[in-house]
Amino acid sequence: MNRDERPLRLIPAWIWIALGAALSAQVAVRALTPPPSLSEADLPPAPSTAALRLASFGEPAAIARVAMLYLQAFDYGGTNSAPYRRLDYGRLVEWLQAILELDPRSDYPLFAAARVYAEIPDEARSRMALDFVYREFFANPQRRWPALAHAALLAKHRLHDLPLARRYAAAIQRNARSPDVPLWAKQMEVFILEDMNELEAARIMLGGLLESGSIHDAEEARYLRLKLEELERRLGKTAK
């Protein structure tokens, strides 16, 4: 690693000046350029699963998760009054579909569809996300039921579409029969029909998910608690 070097004083002054000026210019140019943001950009059409698989160079699980982070960057944060209002949900669902096909054992696409993209004040878009969750549920009901359970709650309390909520609940009841699935989920249709408000139902669901060990990830538990607090605040305001 060592090499013989001449002393710094032997470097001509004009080279010092040129180096300093070039460095300053570089920093100035970068400082004046706004950082890239995807928040208002159009979501590009989803690549095919085959193309994503080819681009992954044998790492489909890693590229699936990087693709989810990329997708999240579009209008992520929800700081605006109507999040995802510019997002093309047709393309979004195609992206989620491709990512799920790339790594079918990942829960990320369905979690994002049910907990992020369906929870928007735009009924048509919300229904597209919920429909995606419902369609994909049947490929692996024992693993994917939490997303559909949340979809049933959204259908009942946000969309006020009880038949849709019952359809989702009945699908869980009929297909998710593993011993790991909590009792309230196995009796999802009754749970949906019970006369309780969204907050009570969400509390029972989160408590049940934590108790059943369905949530393994600390970030997921934190995110769900934040969403519950947000719901408590929102419903508190409505009550006042």
- Note the residues at the interface with other proteins (CB under 8 A): 1, 50, 53-54, 56-62, 64-66, 68-69, 72, 103, 105-108, 111-112, 115-116, 216-220, 223
**Backbone CA torsion sign across 163, 143, 73, 50:** negative
Q: Is 231 exposed, middle or buried (0-12, 13-18, 19+ CB in 10 A)?
A: middle
Least spacing, CB of residue 210 vs other proteins, in Å: 14
Nearest to 49 by CA among 116, 123, 99: 99
Q: At its nearest, how many Å lie between other proteins and the CB of residue 28?
A: 27
Nearer residue to other proteins within complex by CB, 160 or 222: 222
Nearer to other proteins, 62 or 190 (CB): 62
Taking the least distance from each CB to other proteins, the nearer of 103 and 189 is: 103
Say how far apart CA 44 and CA 197 lie, in whole Å: 38
Shortest separation between residue 105's beta carbon and other proteins, angstroms = 5
Minimum CB distance to other proteins smaller for 68 or for 165? 68
Q: Least distance (Å) from other proteins to the CB of residue 19? A: 24
- State the minimum distance, in angstroms, from the CB of residue 240 to other proteins: 30
User: How far apart, in Å, do the first and last CA atoms of the chain sit?
Assistant: 71
Q: Is the dihedral of CA 222, 124, 195, 166 positive or negative?
A: negative
What is the rounded CA–CA span in Å between residue 12 and residue 41? 48
CB closer to other proteins out of 170 and 206? 206
